[in-house]
Structure 1
Amino acid sequence: MAQLPTPVLPPARSLDSLLQRLARERPGALALSAREPAAPAGPDTDFAELARWAAAVARHLQTQHGVQAGDRVAWLGLNHPLQIVLLFALARLGALLVPLNHRLAAAEWAAVLADCQPRVLVHDTHFASAAQSLPHPSPAAGHLVPMAQLPGRLNTTTTDTMDPDGPEFAEAWDAPVLLVYTSGTTGAPKAAVHTQGNLLANMAIAAQVQGLSANDTVLTVLPLFHVGGLCLQTLPALSVGARVLLFSRFDAVATLDAIAHERPTLTLQVPATLKALTEHPRWTGTDLSSLRAVWAGSSLLPPAPLAAFHARGVPVCNVYGSTETGPFSIALPAEHAQDHAGSCGWPAPGVEVQLRDPLGAVVAPGAVGELCIRAPNVVRRYWPDRAACDADGFFHSGDLAQQAPDGSFTVVGRSKDMIISGGENIYPAEIENLLLQHPLVVECSVIGQADARWGEVAVAVLVLQPGEHDHPDWAEPLQRFLDGRLARYKWPRRWLRVDALPKTALGKVQKAELKRLLDAPAAE
């Protein structure tokens, strides 16, 4: 049975009141340490400085650019402390941060900007040319502001910490504060509207499950433009007074060096970065003893990197969620990281999970159903005013899962990716999990293809170990491997090898991109 909601005490009633409390209680404790791969260590910011910085930026945006409650401010840049400062500054004003995915094309940025109509677009030096190339002046671009024009950490004064009358949104639980555009590649841009209450509830849930405390140092290398990089560890760590070691981007060498020398206690990774770390020549010589766990945001984790971390005594804990769910929803704790490999774990405190069939009924125990989630960190709407949940407050994820007798959940695929072959349901994740156990397979994804006889058949798209696919019958050992492990009707009827799988910023395979490869016989 899914875990019912249990009370989780939020760290505050607004982001601004949280920051002000941290500034009072831990003024000299380090909050953010900026790092750039292959560069000297950047500046450190303590909690008192962070509060002053946020107050100064809020005042600047309000007085110089007219930002007020309800306005949107977009950010285009690599990870930087200013992005987090902007979130707190805009919360103080009742405005919303829109972090842009810096890996998108210019046309995709333009579509996002046209959709949310920000008053200000702040950019860093890396993306100055890209920002300036956007249509401007334009209502969709708003004021174009280089980050250097905003108050810096060292330009703030102690008088900016507190407003004697208190910020207008001091108790802004229901005020929207963050627009995050989903990573889908089809259809018009769609943004989940996170309120301050959503973020604060997610901080409490994530901090509790991960055991975060003020003694922790969290290493952040994933992009903050996604809720994974921002909300799974970074904001929860700050909420308890921990230090965040913030890298502008992921780099395997820099990450290994940081683990060895700056001694983080936790970090968040994705399958692609786990693979890059464990296959790097410096992996075996890197001291990992400071890490009590590595958390990974993915419904499917490849077994080889997991085994490499587990062999060195570091559990890899999986967490399931989506842009709309906070995202901390279902988590696999450290004590079950090995005995429940492949599982997403159990619902986090305060999170209610149901598995439903296509008609909306809860499925029988052990049956596959769509993950539906209700929790205080789940968004209620998409921008500008489209419902994200059903009438009962459940978000329908589109992910299919099974629940084991012990209450844990395992994702078996997306409802739209489910393959119906000869009247039988085939779940791609089941095949992918097996193929990833074969030593020839580096990565794989299973998708459906229309078939005149069966309706659909499964197609396996694989990245193989270098030099292992020269033989014309390279798929035969993989087929033999499935024999006795998987029902024959589930076997892939076509095998396609590629050099790399197309992925989103957080390592999710873009299956829509793979489908177009199915008509490329030369790739076989």
Structure 2
Amino acid sequence: MDLADLIDRNAAFTPGKAAIRFEAQTLTYAGFAARIAAAARALKSQLGVGRGDRVAILAANHPDYLVLLYACARLGAMLVPLNWRLAVAEQMFILSDAAVKVLVVEDAFAAVVAPLAQSRPDIRVVGIDCRPAGTSLDDLLGRGSGDGRNPHVDLTCPLLIVYTSGTTGRPKGAVLRQEALVWNAAMSQHASGLAASDHVLTVLPLFHVGGLNIQTTPALQAGATVTLHARFTPDATLAAFDAPQSPTLVTLVPSTIQALVEHPRWRQTDLSRLRALTTGSTIVPQPLIDAVMARGVPVLQVYGSTETCPVAIYTRLGGDLGRGNSTGLPGLYCEARVVDDDGREVQRGTAGEVIVRGPNVFHEYWGNAAATAEALREGWYHTGDIATRDADGYFHIHDRKKNVIISGGENIYPAEIERVLGDHPAVAEAAVIGRPDPRWQEVPVAYVVLRAGASADAAALARHVGDHLARFKLPRDFVFVDSLPRTALGKVQHFRLRELLG
């Protein structure tokens, strides 16, 4: 059995039911299952995709994103979602690091095709809504033949490689098995009571496990209906709530919630069919929770990461939602603890690192044994996040042990920006921290030491960073200093910079 069989089973039970709504189109479960089968046949017979091969996708939210996910599951292949907000250089690194065999790309992001043709001509390129290399996905599907299956494929096969930037300054590919999505879905369904009768609205990007796996794949595996928006806009989201076929469940990050509650139509929008709003990805400001609950909509919190698929700790619909900013209890099918630096579980109320173990946890970092060994110890994933547990076991996340900045739901790792700044000929060294921001929660700020006799202004450094990294990673300010605070061993003391910024 593979993950795509769950779609086939739903198609057998309710063939005419809407599986995915997108723009003016509706894909029934029968149609969804048929397109998955056609995609699997085409990938195998036309492009030679075998068990373990990597297929990347660079696109906004689209039904074929999900078609390719389940087609890869059928073949025992792996889908590599590419963040369209990244710079082309970053996307090229991932395509090379994952040794991708096929890239499926949307026309809006086809800027990667030309450099790819020069550096990796072996990668086959297929267009979702275009023919960047003479092949469109629809053309490919029409030419597929055979059974669309590979031998020795089951739920233990790796399915996703989701890249997350690391503290080393280079992104790491977290490998998630098919079974991780099964157990993740079971916990999602437990958290919100998600059932076949539900209608899930997905506006978060599918290149994140939050957009893909908090409710989207759980809904499809339960036989529910998913409405996809290509990208989040407050107007379209509020209009969806007001529509005759309005959603019953939605997942949003704090920045998107804020965009909704600040919208002029927020108070007039009909939220009567919305059973719950799920949020997470960072510490959620209480005023945002209060604004949603004031409209009669319960707010659920999910804590997790790319490495946990991401559902690991959550509050549950019908459960205790009145514990301030608690992210809830360990999920139904995984374990979570708070431990000290020696890995020993600490007493309730004592701060420590969150560790997670369960079938939803990632298998490895792709091609990076050292990073895998550091993060996975005796089956426990060490998150790097600091939390306490109250007397009843509820988790309260306080800080991030890893120096990650979360801006608008996106993870920004200072080491990555520091690496790029360090490549500028005028920069001797740099350190990046997060600054609180009323809209994005945090934004990066760079402290820069220039080389003796060299000169560069903020605009020049911004252009340099922008040539190599995504726009959301650009520091909002550059602070020029004579030196950076360091420990006796030479490590930069980022907390000293935060104190200075404060």
TM range (shorter): 0.7 to 0.9
Compared CA separation, residues 329 and 225, structure 1 to 2 (3 A): same
- After TM superposition, the structure 1 stretch with the greater mean CA deviation from structure 2, 319-328 or 380-389, is 380-389
Answer yes or no: is the 8 Å Cα contact 1:74–1:97 preserved in 2. yes
Match of 1:196 among 164, 178, 181: 178
Compared CA separation, residues 57 and 416, structure 1 to 2 (3 A): closer
What's 1:476 paired with? Answer: none
Answer yes or no: is the 8 Å Cα contact 1:14–1:200 preserved in 2. no
Offset at 1:273? 0.2
What's 1:99 paired with? Answer: 81
What's 1:26 paired with? Answer: 14
Mapped to 1, the partners of 2:41 and 2:22 lie a distance apart of 23
Residue 28 of structure 1 aligns with an amino acid whose one-letter code is: G
Residue 334 of structure 1 aligns with an amino acid whose one-letter code is: L
Please give the TM-score of this superposition, normalised by the length of structure 2.
0.77
- After TM superposition, the structure 1 stretch with the greater mean CA deviation from structure 2, 103-112 or 139-148, is 139-148
Q: Which digits, 9 at most, give the CA deviation of each residue in 1:490-512, with x for residues without a partner?
A: xxxxxxxxxxxxxxxxxxx97x9
Answer yes or no: is the 8 Å Cα contact 1:317–1:337 preserved in 2. no
Offset at 1:188? 1.8
Q: Is 1:367–2:350 an aligned residue pair?
A: yes
Offset at 1:139? 3.2
Q: Is 1:66–2:40 an aligned residue pair?
A: no
Answer yes or no: is the 8 Å Cα contact 2:174–2:365 preserved in 1. yes
Structure 2 residue runs without a partner (length 5+): 130-134, 407-411, 415-432, 440-471, 483-496
Give runs of aligned pairs for residues 258-337 of structure 1, distance below 5 A: 258-261=240-243, 262-335=245-318
What's 1:422 paired with? Answer: none
What's 2:491 paired with? Answer: none
What's 2:198 paired with? Answer: 216
Mapped to 2, the partners of 1:300 and 1:141 lie a distance apart of 43
What's 2:127 paired with? Answer: 146
What's 1:473 paired with? Answer: none
Answer yes or no: is the 8 Å Cα contact 2:40–2:149 preserved in 1. no
Compared CA separation, residues 464 and 409, structure 1 to 2 (3 A): closer
Mapped to 2, the partners of 1:344 and 1:26 lie a distance apart of 35
Compared CA separation, residues 197 and 279, structure 1 to 2 (3 A): same
What's 1:470 paired with? Answer: none
Residue 346 of structure 1 aligns with an amino acid whose one-letter code is: L
Mapped to 1, the partners of 2:105 and 2:395 lie a distance apart of 40
Answer yes or no: is the 8 Å Cα contact 1:54–1:85 preserved in 2. yes
Residue 116 of structure 2 aligns with an amino acid whose one-letter code is: P
Compared CA separation, residues 462 and 299, structure 1 to 2 (3 A): closer
What's 2:485 paired with? Answer: none
What's 1:410 paired with? Answer: 396
Mapped to 1, the partners of 2:385 and 2:281 lie a distance apart of 12
Q: What RMSD over aligned residues (CA atoms) do the two structures have, in Å?
A: 3.2
Offset at 1:360? 1.6
Mapped to 1, the partners of 2:401 and 2:17 lie a distance apart of 46
Q: Which digits, 9 at most, give the CA deviation of each residue in 1:397-444, with x for residues without a partner?
A: 0001000001100011111359xxxxxxxxx99xxxxxxxxxxxxxxx
Mapped to 2, the partners of 1:140 and 1:174 lie a distance apart of 31
Answer yes or no: is the 8 Å Cα contact 1:99–1:180 preserved in 2. yes
Q: Is 1:339–2:322 an aligned residue pair?
A: yes
Mapped to 2, the partners of 1:372 and 1:414 lie a distance apart of 13
Mapped to 2, the partners of 1:17 and 1:355 lie a distance apart of 37
Compared CA separation, residues 137 and 514, structure 1 to 2 (3 A): closer
What's 1:135 paired with? Answer: 116
Offset at 1:358? 1.1
What's 1:432 paired with? Answer: none
What secondary structure, in the 3-state scheme, does the structure 2 residue paired with 1:334 have?
coil
Offset at 1:518? 8.2
Compared CA separation, residues 178 and 221, structure 1 to 2 (3 A): same
What's 2:234 paired with? Answer: 252
What's 1:17 paired with? Answer: 5
Q: Write out the 4+ residue segments of structure 1 that deviate beyond 3 Å after TM superposition.
A: 137-141, 148-157, 166-171, 183-186, 334-338, 388-391, 459-465, 512-524
What's 1:390 paired with? Answer: 376
Residue 380 of structure 2 aligns with an amino acid whose one-letter code is: F
Compared CA separation, residues 313 and 360, structure 1 to 2 (3 A): same
Compared CA separation, residues 87 and 347, structure 1 to 2 (3 A): same
What secondary structure, in the 3-state scheme, does the structure 2 residue paired with 1:187 have?
coil
Offset at 1:205? 1.6
Residue 194 of structure 1 aligns with an amino acid whose one-letter code is: L
Offset at 1:517? 4.9
Mapped to 2, the partners of 1:140 and 1:155 lie a distance apart of 22
Compared CA separation, residues 173 and 338, structure 1 to 2 (3 A): closer
What secondary structure, in the 3-state scheme, does the structure 2 residue paired with 1:314 have?
coil
Compared CA separation, residues 254 and 519, structure 1 to 2 (3 A): farther
Offset at 1:335? 3.9
Mapped to 2, the partners of 1:299 and 1:56 lie a distance apart of 39
Mapped to 1, the partners of 2:339 and 2:122 lie a distance apart of 41
What secondary structure, in the 3-state scheme, does the structure 2 residue paired with 1:362 have?
coil
Give runs of aligned pairs for residues 80-91 of structure 1, distance below 5 A: 80-91=62-73
Compared CA separation, residues 156 and 238, structure 1 to 2 (3 A): farther
Among all aligned residue pairs of Structure 1 and Structure 2, give the percentage whose two residues are the same amino acid.
42
Offset at 1:324? 0.3
Q: Is 1:118–2:100 an aligned residue pair?
A: yes
Mapped to 2, the partners of 1:205 and 1:199 lie a distance apart of 10
What secondary structure, in the 3-state scheme, does the structure 2 residue paired with 1:296 have?
strand
What secondary structure, in the 3-state scheme, does the structure 1 residue paired with 2:332 have?
coil
